[in-house]
Chain A
């Protein structure tokens, strides 16, 4: 998390912030309630060129655009696969063609069919931040079968999906929620040309773009069968769980985790797909100096660095800012998961809001 610009807050300010966040209920600097997200403006399907696109602006001025494109690619022959046997002419493996037409392609997809690139101003594409972010987002996308299956055209061809994420503003806060929401919207608007050919033929597509089908199709009832996952950033301060932390809040977070979750239709509770702990920037904040070792307040300054750290470790000064240490408690984690996934929980809430966007625009 280091690369994010450090907030220049004094230990006293940090201590104040942290204290207010640990209250019950917590008092956030911008007045939100713990589960509230920053206000955002969003629109989807903004660009004519790509297969799907979206743009989201957070109220703190961060802004991202996502474009999605797809290309037809020839699938590699997997060793020992049915395809290889067919090519070698061993047995007419057509047994699944008739009865299980709807099952074709289930579980055949590969992770390499999704390619995500994230561009953040001031970062190279092989810097840790973009790589880590894209790993987190891709991981969530590929943790269910739906997307991979959708990219499967037939035994010989598949779509290769390119997700290009562009952060337009400097990364003022950790941009994970922003990018995740934008990607989610773009995927919802993404469409693939309609397939005209059958079975394992070379794919031919309908040249009418209007006929193209959604990457995340609607069921007959007008609801999405499946929706792309979202990745939320959650921080813990004392006993409080705070969603979508701003940069100031992150500066005093005790621990930060990214949770990827998706709601599947027909199931009450959202499903957690992935969890990652993130090294909070608060670890790098300057610690406050307790009065005891501050000569200005009549204390005795330790003579060496070793002395200083011993002094700090042994002190139990609560009133001075100390960068947080240690991990997340189990109880806390399960509390977070419950908040995220329960019916009407944060995921439900967010998805509902996003749906309104993609339908509304």
Chain B
């Protein structure tokens, strides 16, 4: 209850709603088709704005009356300048694929959609540096650089809808992080419209630039609370010439860590993913038809599974390394693995990946999921899942009537566990049993309550579990410095 009150009172500031007179002003900045508004005299039905007002999970619902779709940075600047003068709150929006409600309005803020800013500005096939508008869809950028033998350093499930600007604003992680690092490293420059309308041009394409404070880093992961990212300069790595994957079945969780050590040492530079799926997650993925299951024989006695992917420049070299690794693993005196399967062709390669990537979908088919995206030490993955399960059991909440499954999967290489609690239905008592329990558990490991999904509107109250008071105080100071009027994505990240 106290949380509800807190959420309700979050906005101390009185913001102005968008008025018909504002629309008249926007018409001097944008062509008519770039303004979607339900305000009179427009007759646009409110349902037209649904995709902008609701997140894709259907968890957050805003009541924005107006969506603007600028095409140029100057237009974004003009819009923001006007809003600053009028105290109109703004929600910058990309593909709206976030999981924490960071990209939808909480009330009737103005939505600035970057969807029309979707042009590649330049690509240097020698250095691999790509400069693109923020509204470019990730998949389209992947397709753009592919003929030049490059790939985007980031890949995630929502690639067909998410925007590069949104990826950067939320510091999205995803499947390639182990190999290519976080966006804090691969983003070389940004162009940002600040909350007063000023254009901050840091769109350099330099690998090295040690000249003072690296301001762009502040906007990576700020979730649109410090300004609107309008352009991104990003380093794309050369595309691997060969990829392989293998799923290993492990007799118990304790073997994951030594296995990771062995795999890292033996595969070194060709290791591109090391993903963990516990038995519950695997069984759910199979139950809901995500990828073809391993044979009974292969999964017998397996407590968990690990998916290892390699990407390299020469197939023979990679296969030799992988084969050596697998031989050593199988022939060891006390083997770390029971068995495993090695993909023999691209179809099987995708099928093995589907077993891991399909867990998310399988979970949503199985029931209502409480999802915690946490960073904790690898050794504690299983303990956290088990402790959570036992906690729910002790509260009498484990069983078909309430919580059906507690499962864990995630990116071992990044220390990122997706803790999922699958319930028959969303219920307050489950919610109360989980929070702040899970957050406190994470804090006890000095972990992060949001490894890659961000804070958005969902976790603002939990920020203090991962950031101490001094850190939060300075985050607030930075926010106040950039956005003294607090118009930029209010209610997100910071309370």
Pairing of A with B: no
A residues with a Cβ closer than 8 A to B are none
B residues lining the A interface (CB < 8 Å): none
